[in-house]
């Protein structure tokens, strides 16, 4: 069992997870092989990998073993759960169930309505981000048995997030209008009327680069000006990222 394996064994299993993620990223295998490999890192009763769909503003499960009601919660309600802003916090280290404050668990429909009835006592929820900073989805792992302390799997799961994010991101649908991820981020900022300088400060790029992105956006969407681009983005349901709340379309 993964909980009883040595640190060396767990690290070796992590290599297999990365290999499975690379294969899934290239399309050679399915996402389910990644979860199967992850079970060698940490034993679990339920797990899932879900992609964030910025247009529908919900998660889409790519592979998972949760019951239908739990899967539905992850897909449509988790990003509104009081726990989610903590998951999206700046440390991005994943949130283990044993570390969640009791008052937050009491306020969480996800725990009270979904995990608790399943008898879940431990596990981790890990937000996944692409190399360019986009929020692309999340990993959820749950077990009915408390894990040992210290637990080497905790650090290993964190180290695997880049590979998991790449596998999840590879399953993303074609982006609207053929826009690049960065162009979509800029487009999202236009919906709230930000200037090029303000957008540059938020995205850590130069105002000149913002201007170039806007030119490309207008050309690709065949639109006359930034106001028209903002209207198109609003029609698509795209909005800028709220850095302290649920993900918006700019986190593609």
Give the CATH H-level superfamily of domain 2-169: Transcription factor LuxR-like, autoinducer-binding domain (3.30.450.80)
* Predicted local distance difference test score (pLDDT) of residue 54: 81
1 pLDDT higher than 50: no
pLDDT level of residue 87 (50, 70, 90 thresholds): confident
181 pLDDT higher than 90: no
Cα first-last separation, the chain: 36
- CA 98 – CA 121 distance, rounded (Å): 8
* Predicted local distance difference test score (pLDDT) of residue 175: 67
123 pLDDT higher than 50: yes
> Average pLDDT, whole number, for the chain?
87
Alpha carbon separation from 210 to 31, 176, 207, 229 (Å, rounded): 35, 19, 5, 14
* Predicted local distance difference test score (pLDDT) of residue 94: 85
**What mean pLDDT comes out for the span 203-218?**
94
* Predicted local distance difference test score (pLDDT) of residue 245: 39
Contacts by 112-120, CB closer than 8 A, 24 or more apart: 113/73, 114/69, 114/70, 114/73, 115/70, 115/142, 118/45, 118/46, 118/67, 118/70, 118/142, 118/144, 119/144, 120/45, 120/46, 120/144
Residues 16-28: pLDDT tens digits?
A: 999 999 888 877 6
* Predicted local distance difference test score (pLDDT) of residue 231: 93
* Percentage of the residues of the chain whose pLDDT score is greater than 70: 90
- CA 201 – CA 17 distance, rounded (Å): 37
What are the residues whose beta carbons fall under 8 Å from the beta carbon of 124, sequence distance 6 or more? 94, 95, 96, 97, 139, 140, 141, 154, 157
Helices (H) and strands (E) in the chain, counts: 12, 5
Give SS3 for 245.
coil
**What mean pLDDT comes out for the span 72-89?**
92
Closest among 252, 250, 248 to 79, alpha carbons compared: 248
pLDDT level of residue 217 (50, 70, 90 thresholds): very high
Check: pTM over 0.75? Answer yes or no.
Answer: no
* Predicted local distance difference test score (pLDDT) of residue 92: 64
The residue ranges of every structural domain in the chain are 2-169, 176-251
pLDDT level of residue 185 (50, 70, 90 thresholds): confident
* Predicted local distance difference test score (pLDDT) of residue 247: 40
**Helix crossing, 152-159 with 161-169: angle to 10°?**
40
Parallel, antiparallel or unpaired: strands 46-53 and 122-129: unpaired
Residues 44-64: pLDDT tens digits?
A: 999 999 999 887 889 999 999
248 pLDDT higher than 60: no
Lowest-confidence segment of 18-22, 171-175, 232-236 by average pLDDT = 171-175
* Predicted local distance difference test score (pLDDT) of residue 241: 59
Q: What are phi and psi of 53, to 5 degrees?
A: -100, 105
For 9, the token pair is 């064994």
Give SS3 for 95.
strand
For 164, the token pair is 């998991």
CATH number of 176-251: 1.10.10.10
207 pLDDT higher than 90: yes
């Amino acid at each position: 069992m993964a909980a009883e394996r040595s640190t060396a064994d767990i690290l070796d299993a992590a290599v297999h997870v990365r290999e499975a993620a690379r294969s899934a990223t290239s399309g050679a295998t399915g996402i389910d092989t990644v979860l199967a490999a992850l079970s060698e890192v940490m034993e679990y009763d339920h797990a899932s990998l879900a992609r964030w769909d910025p247009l529908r503003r919900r998660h889409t499960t790519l592979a998972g073993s949760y019951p239908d009601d739990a899967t539905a919660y992850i897909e449509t309600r988790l990003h509104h759960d009081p726990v989610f802003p903590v998951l999206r916090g700046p440390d991005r280290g994943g949130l283990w169930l044993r570390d969640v404050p009791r008052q937050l668990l009491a306020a969480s429909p996800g725990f009270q309505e979904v995990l608790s009835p399943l008898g879940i006592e431990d596990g981790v929820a890990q937000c996944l981000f692409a190399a360019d900073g986009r929020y692309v989805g999340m990993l959820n792992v749950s077990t009915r048995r408390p894990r040992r302390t210290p637990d080497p799997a905790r650090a290993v799961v964190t180290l695997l997030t880049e590979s998991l994010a790449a596998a999840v991101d590879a399953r993303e649908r074609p982006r609207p209008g053929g826009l690049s991820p960065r162009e979509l981020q800029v487009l999202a900022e236009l919906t709230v009327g930000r200037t090029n300088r303000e957008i540059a400060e938020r995205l850590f790029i130069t105002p000149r680069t913002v201007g170039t992105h806007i030119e490309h956006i207008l050309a690709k969407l065949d639109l006359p000006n930034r106001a028209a681009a903002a209207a198109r983005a609003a029609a698509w349901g795209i909005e800028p990222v709220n850095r302290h709340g649920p993900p918006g379309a700019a986190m593609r």
